[in-house]
């Protein structure tokens, strides 16, 4: 193997640049020629493939987002689109491909490996932390820190005005961000897709808090449960609280990655290059009990990562 390429796909997350840097510099250290693919699978189809060097990844480890950019591609789901992508790799003599992204991105990598014989390694990049077989994905820690800082700031205002704040965080199908941030900020309640909720019980709980003289309440809602704006109307009508709503939105995706994410991304980038050199394909780098392991795509893709029920119990106990 002489040439490899790296790309980012799907939603961006902090730490992607650290992973790109690690892939490029590790490749050069092993006498490989690294290339970068701009705009994910869309760029792969359009031939947006550029040579990378140590200089091209200098001073990016601290930057959020991705210097290679990202985009969705419906065309890659077609046979014609896939053939264009494979031909573009073949024309440049690229034999190995490293894809940084979530479940959909890794699905594309699996297709390239199984149907076309391209050696592919995935690196999990998703703030939802919903990818199976890895304790943590790149970007999760930074997103959590961003949420916690925002909630802490809102908490000050909530206390000053005796208000209930409903804070909506990302998590369409997975409540990890909402659950962990609720524990970390001392929220009174958390609503996540994995657990049934009773809105009247939550309102009764908040009423009791005010009767006991507590001056504010924080409720964190995963976007997959529903709109915080709609919940705010319910709280105002049924509870009669002075209620405010904050939707954090894409604020959670950005920002300089934490030390944890920089190191995790760096370790995974190095492991991905070394895996290709060892002849491994159709596998993802995974953090398992402090070690970086390789897990086949077939054991990951399409599977839902379960939430730690102990965390759910902790959140319930501490919010009483």
Q: Is 215 annotated as a binding residue?
A: yes
261 given a catalytic annotation:
no
Q: Is 252 annotated as a binding residue?
A: yes
Please report the DSSP string for 73-97 in residue order: -SGGGSHHHHHHHHHHHHHTT--EE
Cα pseudo-dihedral 274, 277, 282, 288, rounded to 10 = -20
Give the count of beta carbons closer than 10 Å to the beta carbon of residue 193: 17
- Give the Å distances, CA to CA, from 31 to 157, 197, 273: 55, 55, 11
Q: Is 267 annotated as a binding residue?
A: no
Q: Is 3 annotated as a binding residue?
A: no
Q: Is 114 annotated as a binding residue?
A: no
Q: Is 276 annotated as a binding residue?
A: no
**Given 12, 128, 141, 261, the catalytic residue:** 128
Q: Is 93 annotated as a binding residue?
A: no
Q: Is 21 annotated as a binding residue?
A: yes
- Specify the DSSP element, H or E, that contains 178: helix 176-185
Q: Give the residues across from 167 on adjacent strands.
A: 220, 246
Three-state secondary-structure class, residue 204: helix
Q: Is 38 annotated as a binding residue?
A: no
Active site residues: 128
Residues annotated within the binding site for substrate are 126-128, 163, 170-172, 223, 244, 250-253
> Which residues are part of a known binding site for Mg(2+)?
103
Residues annotated within a binding site:
11, 21-25, 72-73, 102-105, 126-128, 163, 170-172, 186-188, 214-216, 223, 244, 250-253
Going by the annotation, the residues of the binding site for ADP are 21-25, 186-188, 214-216
């Amino acid at each position: 193997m002489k040439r490899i390429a790296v790309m980012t796909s799907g939603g961006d997350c902090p730490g992607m640049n650290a992973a790109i840097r690690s892939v490029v510099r590790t490749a050069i250290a092993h006498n490989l020629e690294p290339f970068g693919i701009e705009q994910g699978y869309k760029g792969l189809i359009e031939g947006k493939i550029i040579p990378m060097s140590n200089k091209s990844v200098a001073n990016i480890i601290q930057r959020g987002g991705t210097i290679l950019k990202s985009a969705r591609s419906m065309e890659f789901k077609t046979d014609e689109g896939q053939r264009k992508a494979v031909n573009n790799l073949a024309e440049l003599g690229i034999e190995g491909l490293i894809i940084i992204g979530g479940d959909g991105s890794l699905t594309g990598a699996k297709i390239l490996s199984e149907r076309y014989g391209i050696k592919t390694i995935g690196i999990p990049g998703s703030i939802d932390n919903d990818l199976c077989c890895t304790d943590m994905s790149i970007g999760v820690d930074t997103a959590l820190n961003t949420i916690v800082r925002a909630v802490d700031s809102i908490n000050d205002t909530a206390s000053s005005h005796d208000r209930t704040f409903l804070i909506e965080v990302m998590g369409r199908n997975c409540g990890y961000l909402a659950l962990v941030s609720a524990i970390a900020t001392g929220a009174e309640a958390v609503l996540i897709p994995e657990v049934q909720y009773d809105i009247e019980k939550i309102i009764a709980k908040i009423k009791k808090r005010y009767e006991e003289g507590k001056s504010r309440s924080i409720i964190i809602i995963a976007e997959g449960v529903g709109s915080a704006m709609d919940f705010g109307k319910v709280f105002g009508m049924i509870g009669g609280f002075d209620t405010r709503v904050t939707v954090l939105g894409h604020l959670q995706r950005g920002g300089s990655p934490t030390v944890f994410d920089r190191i995790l991304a760096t370790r995974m980038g190095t492991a991905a290059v070394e895996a290709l050199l060892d002849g491994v394909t159709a596998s993802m780098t995974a953090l398992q009990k402090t070690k970086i392991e390789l897990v086949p795509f077939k054991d990951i893709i399409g599977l839902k990562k379960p939430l730690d029920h102990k965390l759910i119990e902790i959140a319930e106990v501490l919010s009483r």
